[in-house]
Structure 1
Amino acid sequence: MTAFILVSGTFTGGCVWEETAARLAAAGAEVYAPDLTGLGERRTVAGPGTDLETHIADVLAVIDGIGADRELVLVGHDYGIHPVLGAADRRAERVKRIVYVDAGMPMDGLPALAAVPDQALREELAKLAEQGGEAVTGLLPAPVDAAEWGRWGSTAGVPERALERLTRLAAPQPLGTLLQPLHLTGAVAAVPTSAVLCSGNGAGIELLQNLVNMGHSALQSLVDPRVSFFELPTGHWPMLSSPGELAEALLAASAGEGHRLTPADDELPSYLRPFPLDVPEVPRERNGHVDLYVPEAGGGEALPAVLFVHGGPVPADARLTPRDWPVFAGYARLAAARGVVGAVLDHRLHAVTDFPLAARDVAAAVELVRADPRVDADRIALWFFSGGSPLSAVWLGAPPAWLRCLAATYPVLAPFPNWGLAEGSFRPVDALPDAGGLPVVLTRVGLEMPEIAATVEQFLTAAEDCGADVEVIDVPNGHHGFETRLPGDEARAAVERAMRSVLARLRA
């Protein structure tokens, strides 16, 4: 018989698992949902020394109390994956599988602090960790309403009554549990794992596969055939929003089922495939982190320019940086073939914490392009792609007079909840009402990842509400990154139409 040990996340106790636990029990499994020290019904027993090791000991006590004839599946939600991994590392021979439920990827030597989604809160906690002493032995107050829970993850799908109960039963989190590093011997690496991704809070399976394909080194271990994935279209608390579906996923994970990721194609990943249009081989001029493609026959007249801003996050050690990718060089050469200066930059969006840094890179690239004597500094277009599109909020919210058009192709137009960005930061959806008459050209793919498509629909709803000038170019059969993934006339026609629309506004 399988025994599930369900370990809850920050501020919460075992009661959050009630409905999921009941479904598992009905399927014939044993279920344990312990309250960790200081949480749930044990909120009064936390002391100054309560830390991650305390919670690891709590999970170990449950493991050691279950008969050796049981196959153990350890499930960790959010912070709960840290004590789960710590305990499994010390009882690896007892554990059949570990399941991550909308949780990060804890590493040896790092505290749970590293997985706190709210970036501002993470910085505050890091300062406490530096102070040490009494600062580390305190308590982090629990959320008092839905807005505060939103700092820890999306509450999408959680019924109002369940959210009220979650708030009522929440307990302050002992700071030591977040600030003490996780120490692993490596034994846990032998235990098969599964992950339940909640696409309403962030990445789904397709987006995760794309990141693997991009070469992110920290994710390469996920292509191990012992690792499987499940996806639920809900927020960060699936045990409250989708308890039945979560139970089904846990049972399937226990049976070794689930989706497997595939290794990146070392020969030719999709983003390195050829641009769909035949474009002239316009010479590239490299200036710092910016490449310029200037039409040969400028005639001495200053020309409009389009700056192409790639998506991300892109690994810092990528073997080819985006300005060398065929898709961006292709767009820039196409612009030059149409008589305007095309420019591509490499910005430093290597992690979701890097948006402020990348924004500064884009601003510097804009100034470099505008300062070039061959460029008409009063006729500039900015063209954003994919995960780089949140950077467009800076320009939508206060468009300068020289910005004649803003384009976005398969864009992410609102940060995912688990990115933890400060309220109002890098949210094109919120900035659009301040865009005035700035024209926007948006290329939308019909086979977009649901979590990204939702942000596009939010943006278009906002555009309708405020009367913004947004032209939508649809690619019905296109996936994210359609230019190198969709052969034939549909991709070529979409790229051509988008370029014509942008240049028409740029020249107006």
Structure 2
Amino acid sequence: MTQYVLVAGAWLGSWAWDEVVAELRAAGHGAHALTLSGLADRRGERPDTAVDQETHVQDIVGAVERHDLREVVLVGHSYSGIPVGQAAERIGDRLTRVVFVDSNVPTDGESFVSSWAERAAELKASIDGNGGFWMPLTAEEYEGQGLTDEQIARIVAGSTPHPGATLTGPARLERPLGDLPATYIKCLLDWPELSPDVAALMKSDTWRLVEMDTGHWPMFSQPRELARILLDS
């Protein structure tokens, strides 16, 4: 039985995967949605501004080891592709595959902010100006992503500020990410082109690309279709 470990992107908790989890379990598999430290129901467990990139990597590795999961498919959405990619190489032969859902991917020594290029200073200034947190998007910023008004309202209501140190701290990889068995899911409404780092990874024989005709949050806009892709990964 495959064990899916699902991690949502910035501002979100395990609740974001509810519909996908239901589909995976109905298909007879294990599904474990995680909330990363400092977010959603895990706010305040420790000083949230002390939560950094390594904390989130250890959240994922710790959950896999604590539950003694085998045949693991790690799933990372958006920001969480960075800690998920690092965790994937640390869990060794427990890993079957890693799936990046319209996500960032880790580069050794680089941070989430690094990928923002000319807007990196803007993001850092926003984090500094909000007490060390990246503030959630407004409802208007979710428009054009294939979401209903009800889905947008649900996302906005459930979002919490994201610990900034997880975005500015560097990723640490022991071996090339292209060596991992991986699927990258590109959501075309958000931006149809692959980022240069993901395009380079697609040259690996162990990586494959799947496209979805929806926006950046497919666990809300197309949960059944996303679950089907995960089951086929």
TM-score normalised by L of structure 2:
0.89
Aligned to 1:234: 214
Q: Does the alignment pair 1:123 with 2:121?
A: yes
Q: Does the alignment pair 1:182 with 2:171?
A: yes
Q: Matched residues in 1 for 2:34 and 2:211: separation?
A: 25
Asked if 1 retains the 8 angstrom alpha-carbon contact of 2:179 and 2:204, the reply is: no
Q: Matched residues in 1 for 2:55 and 2:207: separation?
A: 28
Change (3 A) 1:8 1:94: same
Change (3 A) 1:71 1:163: same
215, 223, 246: which one aligns with 2:203: 223
Deviation at 1:43, TM superposition (A): 2.0
Deviation at 1:186, TM superposition (A): 1.0
Asked if 2 retains the 8 angstrom alpha-carbon contact of 1:136 and 1:175, the reply is: no
Q: Matched residues in 2 for 1:136 and 1:185: separation?
A: 33
Q: Matched residues in 2 for 1:232 and 1:22: separation?
A: 20
Change (3 A) 1:156 1:189: closer
Q: Matched residues in 2 for 1:51 and 1:135: separation?
A: 18
Q: Which AA in structure 2 matches 1:89? A: E
Per-residue deviation, residues 364-384 of structure 1 (Å, max 9, x unmatched): xxxxxxxxxxxxxxxxxxxxx
Q: Which AA in structure 1 matches 2:9? A: G
Q: Matched residues in 2 for 1:90 and 1:179: separation?
A: 21
Deviation at 1:138, TM superposition (A): 1.5
Deviation at 1:217, TM superposition (A): 8.0
Q: Does the alignment pair 1:196 with 2:190?
A: no
Aligned to 1:11: 11
Change (3 A) 1:200 1:46: farther
Q: Secondary structure at the match of 2:43?
A: helix
Asked if 2 retains the 8 angstrom alpha-carbon contact of 1:155 and 1:236, the reply is: no
- Structure 1: give runs of 5+ residues left out of the alignment: 254-508
Per-residue deviation, residues 348-389 of structure 1 (Å, max 9, x unmatched): xxxxxxxxxxxxxxxxxxxxxxxxxxxxxxxxxxxxxxxxxx
| % same residue | 32
Q: Secondary structure at the match of 2:89?
A: helix
Deviation at 1:225, TM superposition (A): 2.3
Q: Matched residues in 1 for 2:46 and 2:147: separation?
A: 28
Q: Matched residues in 2 for 1:162 and 1:217: separation?
A: 31
Aligned to 1:59: 60
Q: Secondary structure at the match of 1:235?
A: coil
Q: Which AA in structure 2 matches 1:43? A: R
Q: Secondary structure at the match of 1:33?
A: strand
Q: Which AA in structure 2 matches 1:185? A: E
128, 135, 148: which one aligns with 1:159: 148
Aligned to 1:243: 223
Q: Which AA in structure 1 matches 2:123? A: L
Q: Secondary structure at the match of 1:111?
A: coil
Asked if 2 retains the 8 angstrom alpha-carbon contact of 1:90 and 1:187, the reply is: no
The structure, 1 or 2, with the larger RCO (C-alpha pairs under 8 Å, 6+ apart) is 2
Asked if 1 retains the 8 angstrom alpha-carbon contact of 2:178 and 2:207, the reply is: no
Superposed counterparts of 1:219-368, under 5 Å: 219-253=199-233
Q: Which AA in structure 1 matches 2:113? A: L
128, 135, 143: which one aligns with 1:141: 135
Asked if 1 retains the 8 angstrom alpha-carbon contact of 2:75 and 2:84, the reply is: yes
Change (3 A) 1:217 1:243: closer
Q: Which AA in structure 1 matches 2:21? A: A
Q: Matched residues in 1 for 2:157 and 2:123: separation?
A: 24
Q: Matched residues in 2 for 1:137 and 1:252: separation?
A: 42
Q: Indicate the structure (1 or 2) with the bigger Cα radius of gyration.
A: 1
Q: Matched residues in 2 for 1:72 and 1:66: separation?
A: 11
Deviation at 1:83, TM superposition (A): 1.2
Q: Which AA in structure 1 matches 2:218? A: P
Q: Matched residues in 2 for 1:73 and 1:173: separation?
A: 25
Aligned to 1:109: 109
Deviation at 1:135, TM superposition (A): 7.8
Deviation at 1:227, TM superposition (A): 0.9
Change (3 A) 1:251 1:105: same
Asked if 2 retains the 8 angstrom alpha-carbon contact of 1:201 and 1:236, the reply is: yes
Change (3 A) 1:101 1:217: closer
Change (3 A) 1:42 1:116: farther
Deviation at 1:156, TM superposition (A): 1.9
Q: Matched residues in 2 for 1:19 and 1:200: separation?
A: 21
Deviation at 1:161, TM superposition (A): 1.3
Asked if 1 retains the 8 angstrom alpha-carbon contact of 2:57 and 2:84, the reply is: yes
Change (3 A) 1:63 1:137: farther
Asked if 2 retains the 8 angstrom alpha-carbon contact of 1:96 and 1:191, the reply is: no
Q: Matched residues in 1 for 2:21 and 2:116: separation?
A: 26
Deviation at 1:180, TM superposition (A): 0.5
Count of residues in correspondence between the two structures: 232
Change (3 A) 1:173 1:74: same
Superposed counterparts of 1:335-484, under 5 Å: none
Q: Secondary structure at the match of 1:171?
A: coil
Aligned to 1:172: 161
